[in-house]
Amino acid sequence: MSTKPTLVLVHGAFADASSFAPVVSELLDDGHSVVVPAVPNRSLSGDSAYIASVVRQIPGPVLLVGHSYGGAVITVAGLEDNVVGLVYLAAYALDQGESIGELQSRFPDSDLASALVYQPFSQPGQDDGTDVSVDVQQFPAVLAGGVDPASSRVLAVSQRPLAAAAFTEKATVAAWRVKPSWGLIATADRAINPDVERFGYTRAFMTVREVDASHLVMLAEPKAVVDLLREAIRATTT
């Protein structure tokens, strides 16, 4: 009897687990086991440790899927022994010792750079942190092109911010160096320059697919995401 991996879907910044809803429905209809944890979005090391702890509690193989900032998270968390593959969706594929800011700095800024909003947040016993989110009025155009307008306006006011520290924190490992990996480039992405995605995926020798979609590719083009996940599932089923 074959053993299929459990899919752990890791959301990125400015979104939450619900952003995977159309994809989750398809995977569940296929009979797959799916886990969609809520990522704290406080620090790359802390978020990666949290996802790694989720993975360790899953019996059997795991296919880790990361969107956007979630790609950086799975890059570090993906060294867990039961992770059999990594899938990047319009995501950052960092190398060891590299930060999101460093990777992005090699390429022209996307429209996201001028749409960011910064707000302090309290950390008991520590200096205040800084939350980064996207201007509500610009959110639909920058992140959610092709997404139902009624849904995108809800997404805009229910963002999960990312702590600014996560942009400069370096990845301690790069799991794609030892795990089979797949990458989906959203060629109409206005949040991450598609060339950032393409560079990271090519550097990692991933199996790469492209789709004409915005940054929230799971909502704009869920079929393309599900097709890639099915490909990765077939390759990692033992």
Q: Does 193 map to a domain?
A: yes
Do the bridges between strand 62-67 and strand 6-10 make them parallel or antiparallel, or are there none, so unpaired?
A: parallel
Nearest to residue 19, comparing CAs of 110, 90, 78?
90
Amino acid found at 192: I
Residue 123: what pLDDT?
82
Residue 1: what pLDDT?
58
The answer to whether 179 and 84 are in contact (CB under 8 A) is: yes
The pair of structure tokens assigned to 232 is 């990765």
Q: Does 60 map to a domain?
A: yes
Q: What is the strand order of the sheet 162-163 is part of? A: 116-121, 129-134, 162-163
- Kindly give the parts of the chain with pLDDT less than 70: 1
Tell me the C-alpha distance between 197 and 190, whole Å. 12
Which tens digit of pLDDT belongs to each residue from 55-84?
Answer: 999 999 999 999 999 999 999 999 999 999
Coil, helix or strand at residue 58: coil
Q: Does 118 map to a domain?
A: no
Amino acid found at 2: S
The answer to whether 150 and 116 are in contact (CB under 8 A) is: no
The answer to whether 88 and 206 are in contact (CB under 8 A) is: yes
Provide the angle, in degrees to the nearest 10, between the axes of the packed helices 222-236 and 21-29: 50
Tell me the C-alpha distance between 153 and 139, whole Å. 8
Neighbours of 71 (CB within 10 A): 29
Q: Does 170 map to a domain?
A: yes
What is the number of structural domains in the chain? 1
Q: Does 65 map to a domain?
A: yes
Nearest to residue 6, comparing CAs of 39, 55, 47?
55
Neighbours of 46 (CB within 10 A): 17
Q: Does 150 map to a domain?
A: no
Q: What is the CATH number of the domain that holds 180?
A: 3.40.50.1820
The answer to whether 202 and 89 are in contact (CB under 8 A) is: no
The answer to whether 160 and 229 are in contact (CB under 8 A) is: no
Residue 196: what pLDDT?
98
Q: E strands within 68-199?
A: 83-89, 116-121, 129-134, 162-163, 181-186
The b/e string for 58-70 (b: 16+ C-beta within 10 A; e otherwise) is beebbbbbbbbbb
Q: Does 202 map to a domain?
A: yes
Residue 126: what pLDDT?
84
Residue 94: what pLDDT?
98
Residue 228: what pLDDT?
98
Coil, helix or strand at residue 156: helix
Which tens digit of pLDDT belongs to each residue from 14-27?
Answer: 999 999 999 999 99
Residue 169 sits in which domain range?
6-105+165-236
pTM > 0.95: yes or no: yes
Q: Does 121 map to a domain?
A: no
